[in-house]
Amino acid sequence: MTVGLRIPAALPAAAAAYAAAGIKVFRVRRNKTPYANCPRCDRQSSIYIKHRPEDCQCGIPTCHGFWAATTDPALIHKWWTEEPDANIGAPCKLNGWAVIDVDPRNGGRESLLALEKRVGVLPGTTTQVTGGDGLHMLYLSPGFDLPGEPFPGIDFKHNGYILLAPSMHASGGRYQWAGGVQFHAPTVAWPAALLPRKERPAIPAPRPARHRFPIHGERSKGRPGGGRMWTVTDLVQHVMDAGKGHRNNAFFFAACRAHELAEQNLIDLCDACSGLMSAAAAVGLTESEARASFDSAATRPGDRGAA
């Protein structure tokens, strides 16, 4: 797919430009509905034949909305010659995209701020300003379905479609790519923090610890009293995996291990603190209670002094 694609201002030329870049598009009405279905595919028709949209054999390319999306230049020319004011629709999954759709009319901006406060700032990616002053943040498809509307005013669009610039919103505003008239193909993976828990990539097992600080007379690097050798990543994951009702205990346990390992020069305490505070925010702990718990772990006798 072309990177840095300049998008013409006219809808027919823009549709052709997207298609030439390998992006599947289809016509959409101003009310965001696809163009009319044929009688065999219209559920209200007396000759309707039940079938899956992707298995349609009616022979009418515009029959099933985004299932009709194509890069065929002749068909796209025909469509927009017939309807030069038709908006440009693009199916998300069929183009390899997953999109965060932020709708400010339904509290999307506030939800986005709250989300980033919990999981951290989302990775920068190709972004479109919608005609309704919202945002489309385009990422690469994770390869499996995502929840549709996880937060007020935010929609994860994967199975559906979005409109592409310079389509016109019902309000009269035009869609436009952030930063100008160029479209840049998304190259950033869907944020791992937004993946369903079962789909999050597994954290690889730590490699056998080596003596990173071979100072003469240094005490043993093994965990006091033996047992598992934790890494900062392990500790963060321990907090993230804690079930509801156990998150405070999981955080305190991780904080104790962090102080123990830092005393042995096996991890950096600042790195551990930063990672654990981010994990605490992600699972819903307040900054004040997490900070108090982390500081309390520093004074807990525990087994840090065990030989």
Top mean pLDDT of 83-87, 116-120, 254-258, 269-273 is at 83-87
pLDDT at residue 41, rounded to an integer: 79
Instruction: Indicate the pLDDT class of residue 209, thresholds 50, 70 and 90.
Output: very low
- 298-307: list long-range contacts, CB under 8 Å, 24+ apart: 298/255, 298/259, 300/256, 300/259, 302/256, 302/260, 303/224, 303/225, 303/260, 304/224, 304/259, 304/260, 304/263, 305/224, 306/224, 306/225, 307/224
Q: What is the mean pLDDT of residues 271-291?
A: 82
| Percent of the chain residues past pLDDT 70, beyond the cut | 82
Torsion angle of the four alpha carbons 221, 204, 255, 272, in this order, in degrees rounded to the nearest 10: 80
Residue 295 binned pLDDT confidence (cut-offs 50, 70, 90): confident
Write out the chain in H/E/C secondary structure: CCCCEECCCCHHHHHHHHHHCCCCEEEECCCCCECCCCHHHCCCCCCCCCCCHHHCCCCCCCCCHHHHCECCHHHHHHHHHHCCCCEEEEECHHHCEEEEEECHHHCHHHHHHHHHHHHCCCCCCEEEECCCCCEEEEEECCCCCCCCCCECCEEEECCCEEEECCCECCCCCECEECCCCEECCCCCECCHHHCCHHHCCCCCCCCCCCCCCCCCCCCCCCCCCCCCCCCHHHHHHHHHCCCCCCHHHHHHHHHHHHHHHHHCCCCCHHHHHHHHHHHHHHCCCCHHHHHHHHHHHHHCCCCCCCC
The pLDDT of residue 37 is 60
The average pLDDT across 157-183 equals 91
Q: The pTM is what?
A: 0.60
Higher per-residue pLDDT: 56 or 216: 56
CB 157 within 8 A of CB 98: yes
The rounded mean pLDDT for the chain is: 81
Position 211 scores a pLDDT of 36
pLDDT tens-place string over residues 96-154: 999 999 999 999 999 999 988 888 889 999 999 999 899 999 999 988 878 767 789 99
